[in-house]
Protein backbone atom coordinates (compact mmCIF):
# COMPACT_ATOMS: atom_id res chain seq x y z
CA UNK A 1 0.00 0.00 0.00
CA UNK A 2 2.87 2.39 0.71
CA UNK A 3 4.03 1.83 -2.86
CA UNK A 4 0.66 3.04 -4.10
CA UNK A 5 0.64 6.22 -2.03
CA UNK A 6 4.30 7.09 -2.56
CA UNK A 7 4.51 6.46 -6.28
CA UNK A 8 5.72 10.01 -7.03
CA UNK A 9 8.86 9.83 -4.87
CA UNK A 10 11.16 8.25 -7.42
CA UNK A 11 9.66 9.94 -10.45
CA UNK A 12 9.80 13.58 -11.40
CA UNK A 13 6.71 14.88 -13.09
CA UNK A 14 7.57 16.89 -16.17
CA UNK A 15 5.06 19.62 -16.93
CA UNK A 16 4.60 21.40 -20.19
CA UNK A 17 4.49 25.20 -20.19
CA UNK A 18 0.73 25.04 -20.76
CA UNK A 19 0.26 22.82 -17.69
CA UNK A 20 2.43 25.14 -15.61
CA UNK A 21 0.36 28.14 -16.72
CA UNK A 22 -2.88 26.28 -15.91
CA UNK A 23 -1.63 25.36 -12.41
CA UNK A 24 -0.59 28.95 -11.76
CA UNK A 25 -4.00 30.16 -12.87
CA UNK A 26 -5.73 27.59 -10.63
CA UNK A 27 -3.58 28.60 -7.64
CA UNK A 28 -4.31 32.28 -8.18
CA UNK A 29 -8.04 31.55 -8.37
CA UNK A 30 -7.85 29.44 -5.20
CA UNK A 31 -6.07 32.16 -3.22
CA UNK A 32 -8.44 34.87 -4.43
CA UNK A 33 -11.39 32.74 -3.32
CA UNK A 34 -9.75 32.26 0.07
CA UNK A 35 -9.15 36.00 0.48
CA UNK A 36 -12.87 36.62 0.12
CA UNK A 37 -13.46 34.25 3.04
CA UNK A 38 -10.58 35.46 5.18
CA UNK A 39 -11.45 39.17 5.12
CA UNK A 40 -14.71 38.76 7.10
CA UNK A 41 -12.92 36.37 9.46
CA UNK A 42 -10.22 38.98 10.05
CA UNK A 43 -12.87 41.62 10.76
CA UNK A 44 -14.58 39.23 13.19
CA UNK A 45 -11.37 38.61 15.16
CA UNK A 46 -10.56 42.34 15.21
CA UNK A 47 -13.98 43.00 16.73
CA UNK A 48 -13.45 40.26 19.33
CA UNK A 49 -10.09 41.77 20.28
CA UNK A 50 -11.68 45.23 20.63
CA UNK A 51 -14.40 43.81 22.88
CA UNK A 52 -11.82 42.06 25.08
CA UNK A 53 -9.78 45.28 25.39
CA UNK A 54 -12.92 47.17 26.45
CA UNK A 55 -13.72 44.52 29.07
CA UNK A 56 -10.17 44.76 30.42
CA UNK A 57 -10.30 48.57 30.68
CA UNK A 58 -13.65 48.31 32.49
CA UNK A 59 -12.25 45.73 34.93
CA UNK A 60 -9.17 47.85 35.65
CA UNK A 61 -11.37 50.88 36.31
CA UNK A 62 -13.55 48.85 38.69
CA UNK A 63 -10.46 47.63 40.56
CA UNK A 64 -9.16 51.18 40.96
CA UNK A 65 -12.52 52.36 42.32
CA UNK A 66 -12.57 49.41 44.72
CA UNK A 67 -9.09 50.22 45.98
CA UNK A 68 -10.12 53.81 46.63
CA UNK A 69 -13.24 52.72 48.52
CA UNK A 70 -11.44 50.32 50.91
CA UNK A 71 -10.34 51.94 54.18
CA UNK A 72 -6.63 51.61 55.00
CA UNK A 73 -5.46 48.77 57.26
CA UNK A 74 -5.15 49.32 61.02
CA UNK A 75 -1.35 49.29 60.78
CA UNK A 76 -1.56 52.07 58.22
CA UNK A 77 -3.91 53.96 60.56
CA UNK A 78 -1.35 53.74 63.39
CA UNK A 79 1.38 55.14 61.16
CA UNK A 80 -0.92 57.95 60.07
CA UNK A 81 -1.87 58.70 63.71
CA UNK A 82 1.77 58.80 64.85
CA UNK A 83 2.77 61.16 62.06
CA UNK A 84 -0.21 63.37 62.86
CA UNK A 85 0.86 63.52 66.54
CA UNK A 86 4.40 64.55 65.62
CA UNK A 87 6.05 61.19 66.08
CA UNK A 88 7.64 60.99 62.68
CA UNK A 89 9.67 58.07 61.50
CA UNK A 90 12.88 60.05 61.92
CA UNK A 91 12.24 60.70 65.65
CA UNK A 92 13.11 57.87 68.03
CA UNK A 93 12.14 57.48 71.67
CA UNK A 94 14.84 56.87 74.22
CA UNK A 95 14.93 53.20 75.11
CA UNK A 96 15.08 52.08 78.71
CA UNK A 97 15.54 48.70 80.31
CA UNK A 98 12.65 47.06 82.05
CA UNK A 99 12.97 46.61 85.80
CA UNK A 100 12.02 43.21 87.05
Write the pLDDT tens digit of every residue in 1-49. 455 555 556 577 888 999 999 999 999 999 999 999 999 999 999 999 9
C-alpha span between 18 and 46 (Å, rounded): 41
- The pLDDT of residue 52: 98
**Given a cut of 90, is residue 80 above it in pLDDT?**
no
Between CA 45 and CA 53, with CA 50 as vertex, the angle to 5 degrees is 125
Global pTM reads: 0.46
Q: State the DSSP H helix or E strand holding residue 21, giving kind and residue range, or none if neither.
A: helix 17-69
Q: Could you tell me how many helices (H) and strands (E) the chain has, helices first?
A: 3, 0
Amino acid sequence: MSEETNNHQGQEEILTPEEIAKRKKDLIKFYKDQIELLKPQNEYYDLLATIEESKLRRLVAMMRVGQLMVPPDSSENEVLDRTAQGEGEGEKKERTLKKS
